[in-house]
Structure 1
């Protein structure tokens, strides 16, 4: 291994013996091979470490932790001791496309203003599918308001750009999302519009076991981002926003009216403060509003079946939203009529 590798692969592992060899092979066989592999073992008990030690590749450096101290500690250790100009994240149960490093490095080399380069990911294992993340920084940044818009495990980063950031100990189970929320106003990001990473879904992974904790953390981060727009938090309380935006709870007419006011206030505040790029922010607000309308009038997710109440709610919608709801309801009615014939 070279003393000054171009890339440091930060690979935290804990009891992933079933998948670690496939993960390691996808790294060691990359078309761009100027890298070190920092494997931080979090006191595995399933033979993971023994499988790793079978590989006699000089690019591999193993850090053995005597006690299990968690993923955040492993990530911070890996980022701190990395020697590369770039850091490529990877998880021990996933697979990287063999040209992933090459393509992400080439993009970062050609775009010095960009600090991190991600990609689309394909889900393998228990759940199939593809996560097609947004491409440009402004859209990715605005999308932080509704979900984690980049897979950190599939990202390559400039080490110097992120030297002042770390994974916070109080962000356990949502540390990736928190990392982006903290850094994205200083570091520009980009997602390549192709699948370069294969993310494994299985019952033993942290994101499956701690799903509820992760959702709670995600909501805290989203509230924090909305508050960048400096709206009146007494008028628009966290409990109101959680109820109408983050849950499927039933709500009162007055609450529905107030959350529509909140959308308008956010739009005006962003025009004033320019926290988010205008067009990207408008897209996110429209998405949130459409979801609220759909869940209230079309899916029955909130268990709202009171006809008079629905008519009352309908009056507060825009003309286009009213037409959307009425049109969908008429289509549903016609389908039922024709089906019964």
Structure 2
């Protein structure tokens, strides 16, 4: 009889054929191997499904459908199919250091927590470090983090849901975790976040509209709370950003210039621990 997996690794994929093999190899390098990989093929029209089916690993659980329904739907389907004790977000086009699952397991064993997140290294497509994402606070999050570093206990499965048919499908879920649950913020770099694929003015506009709509809903549901003055500031800032983004449509290259200033905290390759440098060097050579 197969033992119950410690981890359910959740990965939606849509037309990501060039990332599938490297993502599986990355997962197989983990020092913890009692996992199931729940892949949802979100209506891919490339060779994604054929490549996934070619991976001879009984830990892979494939769920597929013909029509693309968006990442929110795919993530929710993956949640419904998870059977492990710990749910781990594992995006197909990012990379993770080999001790990520071990760090997650240790944290849940040693601490009274419901979810886990970590620092992330922001890299370009050649794995050159562009900056870092640690943890920050703002007028919405007491403490924010990068969604692909998330792991949480399976006991939360009935409470968490991704937005469907919207950009930024993870926003409401992350606000819920921030306001309602107890997390552990691991101050180590456990992932390489390939940001270049996300830099697009029109994606940002779509995301910002969804962000405003989701925020309104969370305010109505009293998950997101503001004082009258802070609420006014929030809406004023949100609508001002909307106007600025629309103005940039006249010359989208202006947006790419502003992105250069997004990560003010820089980190050089030489500042990384030796095991992190070794791992990055090894995947560059593949």
Deviations 1:29-63 (A, max 9, x none): 21011110001101212211222222111111111
How far apart, in 2, do the equivalents of 1:240 and 1:24 lie?
44
> Is the 8 Å Cα contact of residues 123 and 198 (structure 1) preserved in structure 2?
yes
Aligned length: 239
**Which residue of structure 2 aligns with residue 61 of structure 1?**
61
Provide the TM-score with structure 1 as the length reference: 0.62
What aligned pairs does 1:7-46 form with structure 2 within 5 A after superposition? 7-46=7-46
Matched, 1:214 2:242: no
Deviations 1:313-340 (A, max 9, x none): xxxxxxxxxxxxxxxxxxxxxxxxxxxx
Give the alignment partner of residue 229 of structure 1, picking from 207, 223, 226: 226
Deviations 1:125-181 (A, max 9, x none): 3584233322xxxxx6x53627982222221111103422211326x1112122111
**Which residue of structure 2 aligns with residue 125 of structure 1?**
124
Q: Gaps spanning 5+ residues in structure 2: where?
A: 246-286
Deviations 1:167-217 (A, max 9, x none): 1326x11121221113322211222111111111344x5977511111233
> Is the 8 Å Cα contact of residues 122 and 133 (structure 2) preserved in structure 1?
no
**Which residue of structure 2 aligns with residue 108 of structure 1?**
108
**Structure that is richer in helix per residue:** 1
Tell me which moved more, 217-226 or 12-21.
217-226
How far apart, in 1, do the equivalents of 2:141 and 2:230 lie?
19
CA RMSD of aligned residues (A): 3.2
Closer/same/farther in 2, CA of residues 63 and 74 from structure 1, 3 Å limit: same
Closer/same/farther in 2, CA of residues 237 and 106 from structure 1, 3 Å limit: closer
Provide the TM-score with structure 2 as the length reference: 0.72
Give the alignment partner of residue 186 of structure 2, picking from 167, 174, 192: 192
Closer/same/farther in 2, CA of residues 162 and 62 from structure 1, 3 Å limit: closer
Q: Gaps spanning 5+ residues in structure 1: where?
A: 135-139, 250-341
Name the SS of the counterpart of 1:195 in structure 2: strand
Tell me which moved more, 32-41 or 194-203.
194-203
Which of the two has higher C-alpha Rg? 1
Name the SS of the counterpart of 1:107 in structure 2: helix
Structure ranking higher on relative contact order (CA contacts 8 Å, 6+ apart): 2
Name the SS of the counterpart of 2:18 in structure 1: coil
What aligned pairs does 1:32-181 form with structure 2 within 5 A after superposition? 32-112=32-112, 114-126=113-125, 128-134=129-135, 142-143=137-138, 145=140, 149-169=144-164, 172-181=166-175
